[in-house]
Amino acid sequence: MDFKTLFPDGLPTFVANMSEAASNSTKRSFPLESLGPLLGSQFNPLLKLLMVFHNTAGSRFGLDTTVILSIFGFIWAANKIWRQLWSTVYGLVQTYFTASISISNNDEMFLHMIKWLASQPSLVNSRSLSAETFSPNMWEESEENISMIMGRIAADGSGINLNFSNQESKSPPRFTPALGLHGFWFRSRYFRLHRKQESLYDDGNASGTPQFRDKEKLVISCFGRSPEPIKWLLAHAKEQYYADHHAKTIVKRPSPQNMRRFGGRHTWFQVANRPVRPMSTVVLDEKQKVQVLTDMNEYLHPATPRWYANRGIPLRRGYLFHGPPGTGKTSLSFALAGVFGLDIHVISLLDPSLTEEDLSALFSSLPRRCVVLLEDIDTAGLARAEDETKSGEEKKQQRGKRSGGKDEAKSKDDWSVSELARELRKQSDTTEKKGISLSGLLNAIDGVASHEGRVLIMTTNKPESLDDALIRPGRVDLQVGFTNATRQQAVELFVRMYEAETTGTASAPNTKATVPSSTPPVTSNTGTTTTTTEQKDDLSDVSTEVDDLDTSSEVPAATAVQSKLSQIEDASNESPLSRDELVKVAGEFGAQIPDDMSISPAEIQGFLLKRKKSPRRAAAEVGAWAEALVELKRSKSKVLSVQ
C-alpha cells in the first residue's frame, strides 16, 4: 500500500519510506520460509499457522499480508484508544454528573428493592437474569394459581380427595436482575442498576470455622447532581413492599447463631406473614379487652415519648398474660399486634444457642414500635443464683437423709467408680450450662442500654412461680388473667363458628345486633381486618360427593371451586340455620358446658372444628363430649374416648 499516494505532502518522511518498503516487498517476495527452521516453526503452532496464512493469502489469493496486518493493528489500536477515551469520559460523567446510592444486603431496604425490581417487566424480560425459588404462603396463594389432582376416596365413588403433589412444579420461580449493569426507566427518568457481589473473609468467631461469605450490594445511579430521584424510587419501592402490610401480621424470630453476629437485618428473620386477627375472635372479658386496648393505644400515641421524657420515665410497656393453657393468651397477643399494625418478635428463652449477649443484641435491634412476645416464661427456668445454690444444697440434704447420713461421712477416697463418674458428670453439666439468667433477662428488658418504644408481652401458665423482680411495676405494667370458658363464652364461640354460614340469609345484616353478649369487633386504624373464612370454606366443601368428576383428573382451582363444587351434594351437611335458629341452638350448646369452667376455649373450638358444617350435630353431641373430657382430666389420662 502506497501511503504517500493516498496522502501527498501530508505524511512525514519515515512514513513515505515505509510505503516504498512495502511496495518493494510486493515486487519481490520475502523468503519467509527460510526463517522457519531458525524460528522453530515445526515446534511453534502459532508460527506455523502464520506461515499457512501467509502462503494462502499471498500465493493463492494475491493479498498483501502486511496490509491485512496493518488493518488489524489499526483496529486494535483504535479499540484501545476508544476504550481509554470511553473510560475517561464515563468516569468524568460518573463523578461529576451522576448521583448514586448504595444498598447493602444487610439492610431491609435491599429486600424492598429486590422485590420491586422483580415486578418490573423491563428488567424481568432482560437477557441477564437471576432465578430464585419463590413459594407463596397460604394467604398469598390465589385460587387461579392452585393446581391440584382430584380422585375418589372410596371405591364406590363416594367422596373425593385432593392431592397437591404437583403444586410445587406449578409454582414459577422469581426472576431478578443478575449481577452486572442494568438500565431501567422510572417516572420518565433513566436509572442505572449495578448489582455486584464480593467475598468477605469470615474468621468464624461463632462457628469456629473460617470461611468466605458473599456480600451483595445494589448501586442505583441516575443523571444529575441530586440524589432526590433515587430517594423517590426507594420510597416507592418501600411503599410497594408494605402495600398489604395493614392486613397482615409479620412474625419474626431470632436468626441462627452464625447469622446473628453480623447484625442488621440478619439479627431477625421472618417466619410467618399471617392475616390480621380481629379482636372479636379472642375469647376474653370485654372489660379486659377495652382496658388492654386503651392502655396500649395511649402508650403508642406519638405524643407519649415527649411526655415520658419530660418526667424522666423510660418509654417501655410490659404486659403479663396468665392463665391455663388454651385460654387465648397468644391469640390476644396476635390480635393486639394486628389492631395496631405492629410486627411480632418471638423469643424463646429455652433456646440453647441464645446467650445473654445475644438477647441484648436482639433487644437492641428491635424497630421503633413492635411487640416482643416471651411465651411460657415460667418454663424458662429463670431463678436467682442463690436460689439455685439453695436448691442444690437441699437436694444433697435430702439424699443424705435417705441414705442415713452415710454420704456425709464418706470421704472422696472411698468413692466408687460409678459415684465418681456421676459427680464428674454433674460438674461438667454445671460448667457447660448455658442460657439466659434472670439478671440477664432483667438487664435486657429495662437495663441502662435497653431498647425503648417496644411492647413486651409475657405469657405464663403459672404466675406464682415467677420471680417478684420480673413482674414488678415498671417491667409488668398490666396483668391480664385468662380463665377457662364460661357458658356465655361457649355460646359466643358457637355463634362465631357458624355465623359465616348464615351470612347469605335475609337476617344477615342484623347478625352483630342479635348475637347475645357478643364482643364488638375492633378494627385497626390502618384498614379492615376481615378474615378469609369464606375463601377457606370454599375449599373445605371439596370433602363431599361429586357425581361427574373424573378420577385423578387434574383441574385448576378456579374451575374446581367454581364449577365442580357447585354440583357437590353431601347428605351429612345440614341445612343452613336462620339467625334465630342459630341463637337458639347456641343457647342449647352453652347450657351443656360445665359451669365450673373446666374446659378451655381451645378445646371447645377443636370440638366445633370437627363439626364445622353441622351445628345441630355439635349441639347434640357436646354433652357426652364434655362429660368424657371432664372424666379424662379427673383420671389424668391422655386418651379421649369421645371427640
What is the distance between the alpha carbons of residues 186 and 206, in angstroms, rounded to a whole number? 43
Domain boundary among 219, 247, 275: 247
pLDDT at residue 194, rounded to an integer: 94
pLDDT at residue 554, rounded to an integer: 44
pLDDT at residue 404, rounded to an integer: 54
For residue 200, the cross-strand partners are: 213
Helix (H, G, I), strand (E, B) or coil at 373: strand
Residues in CB range of 440: below 8 A, 6 or more apart: 356, 359, 360
When computed from its CA atoms, the radius of gyration of the chain, rounded to whole angstroms, is: 38
Residue 139 pLDDT greater than 80, yes or no = no
- Sign, Cα dihedral of 448, 449, 450, 454: positive
Closest by CA to 475, choosing from 330, 292, 362, 316, is 316
Q: Which helix (H) or strand (E) holds 28?
A: none
Q: Are residues 367 and 463 in the same domain?
A: yes
Residue 218 lies in a domain: yes
Q: Are residues 234 and 269 in the same domain?
A: no
What is the distance between the alpha carbons of residues 627 and 621, in angstroms, rounded to a whole number? 10
The secondary structure of 485-532 as a DSSP string is --HHHHHHHHHHHHGGGGTTSTTGGGHHHHSTTPPPP---TTS-----
Q: Are residues 83 and 125 in the same domain?
A: no
Residue 535 lies in a domain: no
In terms of DSSP bridges, do strands 211-223 and 98-104 run parallel, antiparallel, or are they unpaired? antiparallel
CB burial of 172-210 (b: ≥16 within 10 Å; e: otherwise) equals eebbbbeeeebebebeeeebbbbbeeeeeebeeebeeee
The secondary structure of 444-480 as a DSSP string is HHHSTT---S-EEEEEES-GGGS-TTTSSTTT--EEE
Domain boundary among 41, 71, 91: 91
Residue 305 pLDDT greater than 90, yes or no = yes
Residue 518 pLDDT greater than 50, yes or no = no
- Sign, Cα dihedral of 533, 538, 543, 545: positive
Residue 422 lies in a domain: no
How do residues 383-422 score in pLDDT, each as one tens digit?
A: 665 554 455 555 555 555 555 554 444 555 566 666 666 7
How do residues 70-103 score in pLDDT, each as one tens digit?
A: 888 899 999 999 999 999 998 898 889 999 999 9
- Report the percent of the chain where pLDDT is more than 90: 33
Total residues belonging to the chain: 643
Residue 439 pLDDT greater than 50, yes or no = yes
Closest by CA to 175, choosing from 235, 121, 238, is 121
Q: Are residues 164 and 72 in the same domain?
A: no
Closest by CA to 519, choosing from 294, 284, 245, is 284
pLDDT at residue 264, rounded to an integer: 66
Whose cell is 392502655? That residue is: 295
What is the distance between the alpha carbons of residues 209 and 215, in angstroms, rounded to a whole number? 18
Q: Do 470 and 438 meet the contact criterion of CB atoms below 8 Å apart?
A: yes
- The mean pLDDT value for 190-199 works out to 91
Q: Are residues 163 and 143 in the same domain?
A: yes
446 pLDDT band, cuts 50/70/90, is confident
In the sheet with 147-152, reading across from the earlier edge strand, the strands are 160-163, 147-152, 553-556
pTM assigned to the model: 0.69
What is the distance between the alpha carbons of residues 82 and 93, in angstroms, rounded to a whole number? 16
Q: Write the CATH number for 446.
A: 3.40.50.300
Print the domain residue range for 191. Answer: 98-247
CB burial of 517-536 (b: ≥16 within 10 Å; e: otherwise) equals ebbeebbbeeeebebeeeee
Residue 642 lies in a domain: yes
Whose cell is 483496529? That residue is: 75
pLDDT at residue 398, rounded to an integer: 58
Residue 340 pLDDT greater than 60, yes or no = yes
pLDDT at residue 542, rounded to an integer: 34
**Mean confidence (pLDDT) of the chain:** 76
Count the domains in the chain: 4
Residue 632 lies in a domain: yes
Q: Are residues 215 and 317 in the same domain?
A: no
What is the distance between the alpha carbons of residues 594 and 489, in angstroms, rounded to a whole number? 12
Closest by CA to 543, choosing from 565, 574, 575, is 565
Closest by CA to 546, choosing from 162, 208, 90, is 162
Q: Are residues 71 and 130 in the same domain?
A: no
Q: Which three cell numbers stand for residue 587?
A: 343457647
Fill in the amino acid letter for 468: D
What is the distance between the alpha carbons of residues 16 and 23, in angstroms, rounded to a whole number? 11
pLDDT at residue 480, rounded to an integer: 94
Residue 557 pLDDT greater than 50, yes or no = no
How do residues 466-483 score in pLDDT, each as one tens digit?
A: 988 999 998 999 999 999
Find the range with the poorest average confidence among 309-323, 437-451, 582-596.
437-451
pLDDT at residue 163, rounded to an integer: 72
Q: Are residues 136 and 162 in the same domain?
A: yes
Q: Which three cell numbers stand for residue 118?
A: 422483580
Helix (H, G, I), strand (E, B) or coil at 350: coil
What is the distance between the alpha carbons of residues 519 and 280, in angstroms, rounded to a whole number? 6
Domain boundary among 30, 58, 91: 91
What is the distance between the alpha carbons of residues 151 and 560, in angstroms, rounded to a whole number? 12
Closest by CA to 494, choosing from 324, 370, 608, 343, is 608
How do residues 235-254 score in pLDDT, each as one tens digit?
A: 999 999 888 777 889 999 99
- The mean pLDDT value for 40-62 works out to 67
- φ/ψ of 609, rounded to 5, equals -65, -30
Q: Which three cell numbers stand for residue 500?
A: 359465616
For residue 535, the cross-strand partners are: none
Helix (H, G, I), strand (E, B) or coil at 422: helix
Q: Are residues 206 and 227 in the same domain?
A: yes
What is the distance between the alpha carbons of residues 26 and 6, in angstroms, rounded to a whole number? 18
Q: Do 90 and 194 meet the contact criterion of CB atoms below 8 Å apart?
A: no
Q: Are residues 102 and 234 in the same domain?
A: yes
Residue 304 lies in a domain: yes
Helix/strand/coil percentages in the chain, nearest 5? 50, 15, 35
Residue 504 lies in a domain: no
Q: Are residues 589 and 476 in the same domain?
A: no
> Cα–Cα distances in Å, from 332 out to 143, 345, 479, 488, 583?
30, 15, 13, 19, 25
pLDDT at residue 79, rounded to an integer: 93
Residue 514 pLDDT greater than 70, yes or no = no
Q: Are residues 207 and 105 in the same domain?
A: yes
Chain centre to alpha carbon of residue 145 = 21
Chain centre to alpha carbon of residue 225 = 37
Q: Do 182 and 118 meet the contact criterion of CB atoms below 8 Å apart?
A: no
Residue 133 pLDDT greater than 60, yes or no = yes
CB burial of 433-466 (b: ≥16 within 10 Å; e: otherwise) equals eebbebebbbbbbbeeebbebbbbbbbbbebeeb
Residue 404 lies in a domain: no
Q: Do 553 and 150 meet the contact criterion of CB atoms below 8 Å apart?
A: yes
What is the distance between the alpha carbons of residues 173 and 171, in angstroms, rounded to a whole number? 7
